[in-house]
Amino acid sequence: MSAAAPRDPLAEVAAVFTPRFAEFAFEPGFVAEVDQHAAAVRERLHAQGPELGLRPLDREALSDYALGFTDVLAETGWREPVGYDFAVCRLTAICWLAHQHRLLAA
């Protein structure tokens, strides 16, 4: 019997939220929200004193962040709404960052 494959939270988020990128073409408010969430995630993962340099994101750090965020959503019983809310924006931002920094397995 083979062991179950390890969970890949970044790939799971990307599978669900990559289709949301199509909404960028007609939802400028959504684009702005996702951009702000992406900046917040980058800052959270890389804030080190007064200088917040633009260095590449680490796949493990972003994956750990995605896992923690989705675990909290699961614990609270969150369901993806029609439209977007804080969680949709944050998850889409995580997905955007993963694509932008080529952190998803080929």
Q: 59-106: per-residue pLDDT in tens?
A: 999 999 999 999 999 999 999 998 899 999 999 999 999 999 899 876
Q: 17 is written with which tokens?
A: 């939220």
CB within 8 Å of 17: residues ≥ 6 apart: 88, 91, 92, 94, 95
Q: 71 is written with which tokens?
A: 């675990």
User: Measured between alpha carbons, how far apart are the two ends of the chain, in Å?
Assistant: 27
Structural domain includes residue 61: yes
Structural domain includes residue 2: no
Q: How many domains does the chain have?
A: 1
Structural domain includes residue 74: yes
Using DSSP, state whether 101 is helix, strand or coil: coil
pLDDT of residue 105: 76
Q: 31-71: per-residue pLDDT in tens?
A: 999 999 999 999 888 755 555 555 668 899 999 999 999 99
**Residue 1 confidence class, pLDDT cut points 50, 70, 90:** very low
Structural domain includes residue 49: no
Structural domain includes residue 36: yes
| Overall average pLDDT of the 8-22 stretch | 94
Structural domain includes residue 1: no
Task: Domain of residue 60: give its range.
Answer: 9-44+56-100
Return the higher-pLDDT residue of 43 and 4. Answer: 43
Structural domain includes residue 105: no
